[in-house]
Structure 1
Amino acid sequence: MIFDAEIAYNELLARFGSRVRRNEPLARHCTFGVGGPADVWVSVDKPEDLVGLVTLCSQQRWPLLVTGNGTNVLYADAGVRGVVARVAINTYTIEELDADHAFLTVGAGISWPRIINDLTPLGWGGLEFGPGIPGTLGGGVISNAGVHGHDLGQVLEWVDIVDARQCEEEPVDPTVVRYQHDQLDLTYRHSRFRAQRRVQFNAEGDPIAAPHKMIEPAEIVMQLGIRLHREDPQKLRAAIDEHKQYRKRTQPPQQSAGSVFKNPQGDYSGRLIEAVGLKGTIRGGAQISERHANFIVNVGGARANDVATLIKEAHQRVYDRFGVDLELEVELRGEWKAL
């Protein structure tokens, strides 16, 4: 079935109003600041709207890509065909269990800085390690986001997902499923949702995006349940400030998507990339950061292909020199071709 963007746009406009846009530049929704247009863009801020959108796209056979804040995504210069939906569900409730413990039920679209800033004056700890994590909590589940020896999996109790796996073969309605912690396979920068998103490298060293699906990803994080503990607000604020200062000292200020590669066991990707002489290398408007070699930054006017070229070079040079197959943390989305 051929996707008719005008039909989809008009139908979604009737349902979602001003949250729908036509030919939306994805550079506005990606921390790299690169990427071509989405045929149709929509922001959904209620769980029922997310389920309704996935249902509609399944029934109409419209390609749907669901995203968060775009902090670990590299959109192609050619953009994305079909519908791109941002999960903006950011409501939450706090249930006090006793004097020292509470339970946070929170939408997947809420940002780490916002929820931390809301919890801190209330004296609830558990997420204070993440003020420098720019993405959403939902995105944090995918890669089990963490820093300084802490990660989301240490406080995560469950997630509700929109399961659209059956929609690939036929126009069926998605279901909402709750996965408990022990079903999520949470390890270093990994969860059960990560494997199908991993970028592979072909024989020529080009990064190859995961194959297109009707609904991407097929399991969409919608809501999280997180354990909180009572903590002195001043102590929380001090920890948050310390994490912010560390990030300011060690990470580049330019537009980026954070760490490009996972650290291999027992080593650091940044060290390996620097060791092969690529630190500071520029291709077009993108650069392997002079401050931290595991960051690629937009130094002005970068295109997605500039970033991908540096990814290819870093991966290939490290593999040739050290035999280490660096795993890409960044996802490639949209209409990619070999470099």
Structure 2
Amino acid sequence: MTFDAEIAYNELLAHFGNRVRRNEPLARHCTFGVGGPADVWVSVDTPEDLVGLVTLCAERRWPLLITGNGTNVLYADAGVRGVVARVAINAYTLEESGAGTAFLTVGAGISWPRIINEIAPKGWGGLEFGPGIPGTLGGGVVSNAGVHGHDLGQVLEWVDIVDARQCEEAPVAPTVVRYQHSELELSYRHSRFRAQRRVQFDGEGNPVAAPHKLIEPAEIVMQLGIRLHREDPQQLRAAIEEHKQYRKRTQPPQQSAGSMFKNPQGDYSGRLIEAVGLKGMTHGGAQISERHANFIVNVGGARAADVAALIKEAHQRVYDRFGVDLELEVELRGEWKVL
């Protein structure tokens, strides 16, 4: 079935009003600042809207790509065909549960800095290690985001997801499922949701985007349950500031998507990339950062193809010299062609 963007736009406009846009530049919605247009862009800010949108797209057979703040995604220069929806569900409740603990129920679209800034002054700790993580908590689940020996999995108790796996084969409604902590397969930069999004490298060394599905991803993080603990607000404020300053000292200031590759066991991707002489290498408007070799930055006018070329070069050179198959942390989305 051919996707008719005008029909989809008009129907979504009736449901979502001015949250729907045509030919929206995705460069506005990712931290790389690159990427072509989405046929149709929509922002959803309630669980009901998210389930309703997935249901509608499944019924109409419209391709749907779900995204967050765009902090770990590289959109193709050709953009994305179909509907791209940003999960902007950021409502939360905080309930004290005794013994110096509280339970946070929070939408997947809330940003890490925002939730920290709102709960830390009230004396609730558990997330204070992440003020420099620019993404959403929902995205943090997928990659089990963390830093300095702390990660989201240490405080996460459950996740509600919209399960659209059955929608691929038939126009059926998705279901909402709750996964408990033990079902999430959390480890270093990994969760049960990660494998389906992993970028592979072909025989020529080109990064290859995951195959297109009707609903991407098929399991969409919608809401999280997090256990917090009582902490002195001044100590929390000091810890937050320390993490901010560390990130400012060690990471490049230009537009990027954070760390490009996971650290291999017992080593660091940045060290390996620097060791093969790629620190500071440029391609078009993209550069392997001179400050930290595991960052690719937009130094001005970069295209997605420039970033992908540097990804290929770094991955291939490290593999050729050290035999290490670096795993990309960033997802490739949209209409990619082989480089």
TM-score relative to the length of structure 2: 1.00
What's the CA shift string for 1:113-167, capped at 9, x where partnerless?
0000000111000000000100000000000000000000000000000000000
Match of 1:335 in 2: 335
Secondary structure of 2:65's aligned partner: strand
Shift of 1:202: 0.2
Runs of 5+ unmatched residues, structure 2: none
Amino acid at match of 2:322: F
Once the two structures are TM-superposed, the CA of residue 99 in structure 1 deviates from its matched residue by 4.8
1:137 corresponding residue in structure 2: 137
In the alignment, which residue of structure 1 is the partner of 2:128? 128
Q: Counterpart of 2:82 in 1: which secondary structure? A: strand
Aligned AA (2:48): E
Corresponding residue number in structure 1 for 2:228: 228
Aligned to 2:322: 322
- In structure 2, how many angstroms separate the alpha carbons of the residues matched to 1:48 and 1:103? 22
Separation (CA, whole Å) in 1 of partners of 2:232 and 2:118: 14
Q: Deviations over 1:147-189 (max 9, x none)?
A: 0000000000000000000000000000000000000000000
Q: Which amino acid aligns with 1:48?
A: E
Cα displacement string for residues 35-75 of structure 1 (whole angstroms, at most 9, x for unaligned residues): 00000000000000000000000000000000000000000
Say whether residues 1:260 and 2:230 are aligned partners.
no
TM, length-normalised to structure 1: 1.00
- State the 1:257 CA deviation: 0.1
Structural mapping, 1:89-168, within 5 Å: 89-168=89-168
Does residue 1:77 correspond to 2:77, yes or no? yes
DSSP 3-state at the match of 2:332: strand
Q: 1:316: how far off?
A: 0.1
Partner letter of residue 274 of structure 2? E
- Percent of pairs with identical residues: 88
Residue in 2 that maps onto 1:299? 299
| Matched residue type, 2:214 | M
Unaligned ranges ≥5, structure 1:
none
What is the SS of the residue equivalent to 1:97? strand
SS of equivalent to 2:235: helix
Any idea what SS the aligned residue of 2:22 has? Answer: strand
Q: Which residue of 1 aligns with 2:62?
A: 62
> How do 1:211-222 and structure 2 match up within 5 A?
211-222=211-222
Q: Report whether the alignment pairs 1:29 with 2:40.
A: no
Per-residue deviation, residues 233-254 of structure 1 (Å, max 9, x unmatched)? 0000000000000000000000
Q: Distance in 1 between matches of 2:114 and 2:132?
A: 11
**Corresponding residue for 1:196?**
196
Spell out the pairing of 1:161-176 with structure 2 (5 A cutoff): 161-176=161-176
Q: Distance in 1 between matches of 2:148 and 2:181?
A: 21
For 1:280 and 1:121, locate their aligned partners in 2 and report how far apart those are by CA, in whole Å: 40
Q: CA RMSD in A?
A: 0.3
Question: Amino acid of the residue matched to residue 188 of structure 1?
Answer: Y
Say whether 1:14 aligns with 2:14.
yes
Q: Partner letter of residue 297 of structure 2?
A: V
Q: Aligned residue for 1:245?
A: 245
- Equivalent residue, structure 2, for 1:270: 270
Aligned-partner residue type, residue 230 of structure 1? R
> Per the alignment, in what secondary structure is the counterpart of residue 292 of structure 2?
coil
Residue of structure 2 equivalent to 1:41? 41
2:286 aligned partner: 286
**Residues 91-131 of structure 1: CA deviation (Å, up to 9, x unaligned):** 00001001500000000000000000000111000000000
Cross-structure match for 2:177: 177
Count, aligned residues: 339
Q: Distance in 2 between matches of 1:119 and 1:321?
A: 47
CA distance in 2: counterparts of 1:6 and 1:204, whole angstroms: 38
Deviation at 1:269, TM superposition (A): 0.1
Measure the CA separation in 2 of the matches of 1:30 and 1:97: 37
Q: Which residue of 2 aligns with 1:208?
A: 208
**Given residue 115 of structure 1, which amino acid in structure 2 is its aligned partner?**
I
Amino acid at match of 2:292: H
Q: Which amino acid aligns with 2:260?
A: V
